[in-house]
Amino acid sequence: MSFDLLPSLPDNSDRPLWSVIIPAYNKGKFIGRTIESVTSQLPIEGGVQIEVIDDCSTDDTIEIVKKYENLGVTYYRQEKNLGHIKNYETGLLRSKGKLIHILHGDDCVKAGFYKEFSLFFDRLPEIGAAFCRNDFVDENDKFITGTGELMKESGIFYDFLDRISQSQILQTPTMVVKRAIYEKGGMFNHELLKSRNEDWEMWARVGKNCQVGYLNKILANYRVHSDSLTENFMLSGGYVDDFKKTIKIINSYIDDESLRHKNLKIANLNAVTTGTNKVIQLIEFNRKTEAKKQLQSLLFLSDNLKANLRILKWYLKAL
């Protein structure tokens, strides 16, 4: 196995219902807003563990977090920088709640997030995880766009694994997973330690191990900004290789061979579309060397003629 199982905990009444794990690295600019989006919902029925996992930040993250100690927010600091995935895993290992919510140190939840999810899990005890919709906001909390509906009504997302094997359909702050699922299906994949698709693979594996619910409400904000790890990686030129490695793993979770083939074709086309859009940004930033490298990797990833002609058009513009 390329991932570790989360050690189980005794199922006793001393454990809180929720663990809100906030991984952070140099998020001093945003982490106060992240924490307040959680603490503003206190008290949370069933109890809550709120813990910031700091990957050895060099900014003022620690000073900001300490301001919230009186609200029950705890702080754990790595002795050295371990990278984002190992930092996430530290949070999972320190979790005590029956429901785990990983909330990145620059994202936020909206009012009612924890109450709505608690009620949803109570209504559908057979699900092992659930996610909602989100808004995308900039560094000043200005609305950019929102996610559309994947289902008309909230409920069990029966074809979740099928859909997520075609493209990443959710953002991490929207997902809540029962701790028992990490105990059964494992934590983050160590083959993807330097990836920015580690969450995509994680949620696909969750979908392989349990039924997933869909809460058709916008209850989280995903922040898009220049310091974002995901945004920087998407513009680095390493996107295509990362995609290929990730989709190979995700595709292996589908048992039906014809469905694997169909979903891989769809995933490849989605990757080409996303990758080409990012290349346009690289060209606009005059990063033409990286743009050409990424376009070369994208060419013929999909057998879609229109998509390949679009790649060639932008390759000529990058010369």
The predicted-structure confidence for 246-270, as pLDDT tens digits, reads as follows 999 999 999 999 999 999 999 999 9
In this prediction, residue 36 has a pLDDT band, given cuts at 50, 70 and 90, of: very high
Residue 138: CA atoms inside 13 Å, Cβ hemisphere, count?
A: 5
- Position 235 scores a pLDDT of 53
Given 181, 215, 230, which residue is the final one in a domain?
A: 230
Of 308, 117, 124, residue with least CA distance to 220: 117
Domain match, 29 and 142 both: yes
- Position 227 scores a pLDDT of 64
Domain membership flag for residue 200:
yes
Domain match, 128 and 240 both: no
Domain match, 79 and 219 both: yes
- Position 81 scores a pLDDT of 97
In this prediction, residue 280 has a pLDDT band, given cuts at 50, 70 and 90, of: confident
- Position 228 scores a pLDDT of 56
Domain match, 47 and 171 both: yes
Higher pLDDT, 177 or 195: 177
CA dihedral for 219, 168, 222, 194, sign (positive or negative): positive
- Position 236 scores a pLDDT of 55
Strands (E) across 157-305 are located at: 175-178, 211-223
Burial class (CB in 10 A: 0-12, 13-18, 19+), 316: exposed
Mean pLDDT (whole number) for 266-287: 88
Please say whether the beta carbons of 28 and 124 come within 8 A. no
Burial class (CB in 10 A: 0-12, 13-18, 19+), 257: exposed
What is the rounded distance in angstroms from the CA atom of residue 66 to the CA atom of residue 106? Answer: 17
Given the structure tokens 């983050």, which residue do they identify? 188
133-147 pLDDT, tens digit each = 999 999 999 999 999
191-242 pLDDT, tens digit each = 998 888 999 999 999 999 999 999 999 999 999 876 655 555 555 556 788 8
Domain membership flag for residue 146:
yes
Of 101, 87, 77, residue with least CA distance to 23: 87
Mean pLDDT (whole number) for 295-311: 92
Q: Comparing 23-32, 223-232, 300-309, which segment has the lowest mean pLDDT?
A: 223-232
Q: What CATH number does the domain containing 85 carry?
A: 3.90.550.10
Residue 290 lies in domain: 235-318
Q: How far is CA 26 from the centre of its chain?
A: 18
Given 230, 258, 273, which residue is the final one in a domain?
A: 230
* Number of domains forming the structure of the chain: 2
In this prediction, residue 1 has a pLDDT band, given cuts at 50, 70 and 90, of: low
Of 125, 129, 138, 118, residue with least CA distance to 30: 138
Domain match, 57 and 44 both: yes
41-60 pLDDT, tens digit each = 999 999 999 999 999 999 99
Given 230, 254, 271, which residue is the final one in a domain?
A: 230
Which residues, other chains included, contact 264 with Cβ-Cβ below 8 Å and sequence gap of 6+?
A: 247, 251
Go through 241-256 and write b for each residue having 16 or more CB atoms within 10 A of its CB, e for each that does not.
Answer: ebbebbbebbbebbee
Domain match, 247 and 286 both: yes
